[in-house]
């Protein structure tokens, strides 16, 4: 992973994880605040219930003319104190006695919650019942821990999901960059051969050595460069929607291409044979020529030196047969994809057959292949669907 990819990954993770944690944090905060309110209500109700029990016992004792004797409560976490009208202590087992504020009904101080219940009976010396518990604070602290743990687990989970998503999203980008890097390298390699031949031929021509042969090499190299440029231009600008359809004889268009590529195939001493029938079609002439040129160019590229290429047009089916390296069954499923090549030794960009496939698809032409490794390949294009029908 290069530095740009790392920066993109870090940026994506920061934004995704940060925004996700912000949302989760807000939800957890709202949940926490609501739970704290519920805990305080529960705590207040528990203390109120216990104080009412004590109050009932006090009233019952004095109604029976008995002195109230403080009892131990069933719930150990709740403690209480009794005070007279002068706020003097009558009984207490409180832990937070020094924090008492008898002017409030329910409040929290340090680690305790207090609940104050008043008695307004003139004949009873007990005027205040003070209830105390630390359970509410403990529950709240426990809730804080749960919320923090939930946030941390969410961060880990969201981080993992974000990382996996980033890897999935970056994969096609990385593949595209890799393809483009290979394309640039292949461009340099592909152009290097005809340019080198061109420069060598010009140099030889200046020295007057075999001018006729050198002119053939110059013509061949120039046409190769022109063909490379046309393929790159066509593929880069996606001229698939610009259809200038016209009626023409496919036979003569193929004948022109065969004559054109005979000047290119001379560098490998390959002869292109043509057996052509008349076939009137209605199609974009430039795109039709792209099909023919790329099939012949591909055949030259993967043919052995000193071999033949057979171009036939029979019953509106164009076939281009070479006797080269061939294509395995596995490669046949991939060969029409962009940047896919039969091998890396023969050069090429892997865009020629992709152009052929896209043009055929736009006109619903049948495109198929027969090949056997080390024996050669034959590409077929069926033009029957666009034959001109005279009325």
The long-range contacts involving 236-244, CB below 8 angstroms and separated by at least 24 positions, are 239/287, 240/358, 240/359, 240/362, 242/284, 243/284, 243/287, 243/362, 244/284, 244/285, 244/286
Q: Which residues contact 327 (CB under 8 A, 6 or more apart)?
A: 335, 342, 369, 371, 373, 377
Distance CA 93, CA 75 (A): 13
- The pLDDT, as a whole number, for residue 345 is 44
The answer to whether 367 and 356 have CB atoms below 8 angstroms apart is yes
Distance CA 134, CA 46 (A): 12
Class of the CATH-defined domain 241-386: alpha beta
Predicted TM-score (pTM) of the model is 0.51
* Token pair in block for residue 6: 């790392």
pLDDT, one tens digit per residue, over 176-210 is 777 677 666 656 656 665 676 677 777 777 777 77
- The pLDDT, as a whole number, for residue 67 is 84
- The pLDDT, as a whole number, for residue 16 is 84
- The pLDDT, as a whole number, for residue 8 is 75
Cα-Cα-Cα-Cα torsion 159, 163, 168, 171, nearest 10 degrees, comes to 160
- The pLDDT, as a whole number, for residue 234 is 67
Positions in the chain whose pLDDT score sits under 50: 240, 342, 344-349
Distance CA 335, CA 341 (A): 6
Domain boundaries, the chain: 3-142, 241-386
* Token pair in block for residue 123: 């004949």
Q: Which residues contact 71 (CB under 8 A, 6 or more apart)?
A: 57
Q: Treating both helix axes as pointing N-terminal to C-terminal, what angle do 211-237 and 285-302 enclose, rounded to 10 degrees?
A: 120
């Amino acid at each position: 992973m290069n530095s740009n990819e790392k920066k993109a990954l870090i940026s994506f993770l920061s934004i995704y994880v940060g925004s996700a944690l912000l949302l989760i944090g807000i939800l957890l905060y709202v949940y926490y605040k609501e739970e704290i309110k519920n805990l305080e209500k529960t705590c207040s109700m528990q203390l109120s219930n216990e104080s009412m029990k004590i109050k009932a016992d006090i009233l019952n004792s004095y109604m029976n003319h008995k002195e109230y004797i403080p009892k131990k409560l069933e719930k150990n976490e709740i403690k209480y104190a009794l005070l007279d009208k002068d706020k003097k202590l009558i009984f207490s087992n409180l832990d937070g006695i020094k924090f008492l504020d008898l002017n409030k009904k329910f409040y929290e101080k340090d680690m305790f919650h207090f609940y104050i219940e008043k008695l307004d009976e003139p004949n009873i010396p007990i005027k205040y019942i003070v209830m105390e518990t630390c359970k509410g604070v403990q529950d709240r602290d426990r809730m804080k821990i749960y919320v923090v743990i939930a946030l941390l687990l969410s961060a880990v989970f969201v981080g993992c999901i974000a990382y996996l998503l980033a890897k999935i999203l970056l994969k096609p980008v990385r593949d595209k960059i890799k393809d483009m890097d290979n394309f640039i390298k292949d461009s340099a390699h592909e152009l290097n051969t005809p340019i080198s031949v061109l420069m060598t031929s010009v140099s030889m021509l200046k020295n007057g050595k075999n001018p006729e042969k050198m002119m053939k090499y110059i013509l061949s190299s120039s046409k190769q460069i022109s063909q490379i440029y046309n393929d790159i231009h066509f593929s880069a600008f996606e001229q698939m929607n610009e259809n200038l359809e016209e009626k023409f004889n496919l036979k003569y268009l193929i004948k022109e291409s065969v004559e054109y590529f005979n000047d290119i195939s001379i560098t490998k001493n390959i002869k292109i044979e043509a057996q052509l029938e008349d076939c009137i079609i209605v199609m974009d002439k430039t795109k039709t020529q792209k099909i023919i040129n790329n099939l012949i160019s591909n055949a030259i590229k993967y043919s052995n030196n000193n071999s033949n290429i057979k171009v036939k047009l029979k019953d509106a089916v164009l076939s281009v047969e070479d006797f080269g390296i061939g294509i395995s069954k596995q490669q046949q499923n991939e060969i029409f994809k962009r940047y896919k090549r039969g091998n890396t030794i023969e050069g090429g960009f892997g865009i020629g057959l992709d152009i052929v496939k896209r043009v055929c698809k736009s006109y619903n032409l049948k495109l198929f292949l027969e090949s056997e490794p080390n024996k050669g390949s034959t590409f077929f294009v069926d033009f029957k669907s666009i034959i001109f029908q005279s009325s």
